[in-house]
Structure 1
Amino acid sequence: MSRLHFDFGCGSLKLAGSLDTAPGSTGLLIVSGGNELRSGAFSGQSLLAARIAKAGFPVFRFDRRGIGDSEGENRGFRHSAKDIRAALDAFRALAPQVDRVIGFGNCDAASALMLMGGEGFDGLVLSNPWTIDDDAGDTDEPQHTPEAIRSRYLEKLKNPAEIARLLRGGVNLRKLAAGLLGAAKSAPQTSQLSQEMRAGIADFSGSVTYLVATDDRTGQLFESAWGKDDPRIQRCLGAGHAYVEPSHQDWLKDRILEVIRA
């Protein structure tokens, strides 16, 4: 196993890519979310690629246009299908033994794969898909779902220390009132983006696995928009958005390997 760094073409532009080599005929293509480099948050994608390759399967990562070492303008995840297609072509050229490719993306990378209908992939692993419309709010952080707020307050009410803190006046009443109002709201309406994602993935013939980190607001909002009863959803209890804890990293690796080996 070795790691190769190179440039590949996307139209007239050059994109930066990395390939962790392995002999397997099924490969993993990792699409970065947000404006992250191909190494991922806290080098999480780089570590994940090495572990998947060690298990015998090649892994391709890349920086989309305008990110990291890649040329061009960063136009966001909604306009990244061309980059993903170019990465797929480069992956197949550099690892000619690969006859089956699984796509993995976290956050809006998962959304990008869904919007392009999984074109060119044989299976998808979609983690914490981003479902918030671009004009949904003034903050980059998604808001808690009413269900998550209710769960949080129920846990506090079970804690005698929290009750004592409230009686001592140690609770910000304005924040408490805002939280209670949030908990009383009904489930958020389905976003336009989530509708487009659902339509995009509807005709995909390969396998689809959704992963949700239960402590991640993006994952919580995805479940609210998508429906928790989808049998393809698997949940990593207590995990945050980037799966930074070692046990959560193991869980993520194992779920991806299950799909690759299927």
Structure 2
Amino acid sequence: MTRRHLTFTCEGATLIGTLDREAASHSTGLLIVSGGNELRSGAWSGQAQLAARIAREGYPVFRYDRRGVGDSEGENQSFRHSGPDIAAALAAFRAAAPHVARIVAFGNCDAAAALMLNAPALPIAALVLANPWTIDGEEAPNAMPASAIRSRYLAKLANPREVWRLLTGGVNLAKLARGLCSAASPTPAPAGLVEEMRTGLAAFSGAATILLASRDRTAQMFSEVWDSADLRIQRIDSASHSFSDEAAREWLHARLIEVLGP
């Protein structure tokens, strides 16, 4: 497996990308779009390791730093304005690996949101969207999602020690009442970013897979405002936002290979 670093341009700025591939490789490739202000290597080099593993299985993998992040020039305008960066990365991927005819794009967190917003205009065959970001901004609210509060209280009720604490006065009843009220609160109607993501995904002609780590806060916020019956959703019982534990890492790898195909 070879790893090649290269440069390409996006609206006048020079961006840095990395291509991993075997000498003989499939005609389907994987584009990794980084979330947040994360470097193309990913948290604890997770994306670099994922790219190398996928490439060793015969699928070329391209990842990059968007404008203003990591090694790339330009102004960081956040995921909301990263459509041109994704388009430029796709063009650079095709130029560096011209035998690639089909590209699958993978993004976690706000990279998933960016792909949903921009996918209709991009030459992408399929999307893998992990723990999509649903907040109009870059900071998560302090309040825990109602679904997470419900899960927490259900887990407590299943624990005999917690039930005993409740029966013997070891629980703050005022705090409990506030928690139950929060858990019973109706889910807010989707608006703004979520509606744009829904519209973008509806206009995308390719296949889409949504991956959720069910105990991750960002995934829980997504579940609060998305159709729970969406058949594109697959879940793993994990709290790892970046799929960093071994079970989640293996699960993510298997899902990507499924979408990349034979």
What TM-score, normalized to structure 2? 0.92
Which stretches in structure 2 are left out of the alignment for 5+ residues?
Answer: none
The one of 111, 114, 125 equivalent to 1:109 is 111
Question: What are the within-5 Å matches in structure 2 for residues 18-167 of structure 1?
Answer: 18-22=18-22, 23-118=25-120, 119-134=122-137, 140-141=140-141, 143-166=143-166
Does 2:256 match 1:253?
Answer: no
Further displaced range: 34-43 or 167-176: 167-176
Q: Distance in 2 between matches of 1:92 and 1:157?
A: 54
**Identity among equivalent pairs (%):** 56
Query: Using a 3 Å threshold, how does the CA distance of structure 1 residues 256 and 88 change in structure 2: closer, same or farther?
Result: same
CA contact (8 A) 1:25 1:99 kept: yes
Amino acid at match of 2:110: D
Deviation for aligned residue 1:178: 3.2
Q: AA paired with 2:41?
A: S
Is the 1:26–1:98 contact (alpha carbons within 8 Å) kept by the matching residues of 2? yes
Q: Give RMSD over aligned pairs.
A: 1.8
SS in 2 for 1:134: coil
1:209-237 CA-partner distances (Å, limit 9, x unpaired): 11111011211221221211011111112
Alpha-carbon contact 1:30-1:103 (below 8 Å) kept: yes
Cα distance between partner residues in 2 of 1:225 and 1:173: 30
Over 3 Å counting, the alpha-carbon distance change for 1:172 and 1:67 in structure 2 is: farther
Task: Say which SS state the counterpart of residue 93 (structure 2) adopts.
Answer: helix
CA offset digits 1:33-78 (Å, max 9, x no partner): 0110111122111111111111110000000011011101111000
Match in the other structure for 1:235: 235
- 1:131·1:191 contact (CA, 8 Å) conserved in 2? no
- Tell me the CA shift for residue 170 of structure 1: 5.2
Q: CA deviation at 1:175?
A: 4.2
Q: TM-score, structure 1 length as denominator?
A: 0.92
Aligned 8 A contact 1:145 1:188 in 2: no
After superposition, residues 145-224 of structure 1 pair within 5 angstroms as 145-166=145-166, 171=171, 175-224=175-224
**In 2, Cα distance between equivalents of 1:41 and 1:247:** 17
Distance change (3 Å), C-alpha of 1:6 and 1:175 = farther
Displacement of 1:176:
3.2
Counterpart of 2:82, as a letter, is S
Hey, which bits of structure 1, 4+ residues long, moved more than 4 A? Answer: 166-175
Q: Any conservation in 2 of the 1:239–1:248 contact (CA below 8 Å)?
A: no
User: Could you say if the C-alpha distance between residues 35 and 174 of structure 1 is closer, same or farther in structure 2, counting changes exceeding 3 Å?
Assistant: farther
Q: Using a 3 Å threshold, how does the CA distance of structure 1 residues 142 and 5 change in structure 2: closer, same or farther?
A: farther
Shift of 1:14: 0.6
Say which is worse superposed, 24-33 or 173-182, in terms of deviation: 173-182
Per the TM alignment, residue 8 of structure 1 is displaced from its structure 2 partner at its CA by: 1.4
Change (3 A) 1:142 1:51: farther
- Contact in 2 for aligned 1:27/1:98 (Cα 8 Å): yes
CA distance in 2, matches of 1:33, 1:134: 13
Determine helix, strand or coil for the equivalent of 1:15: strand
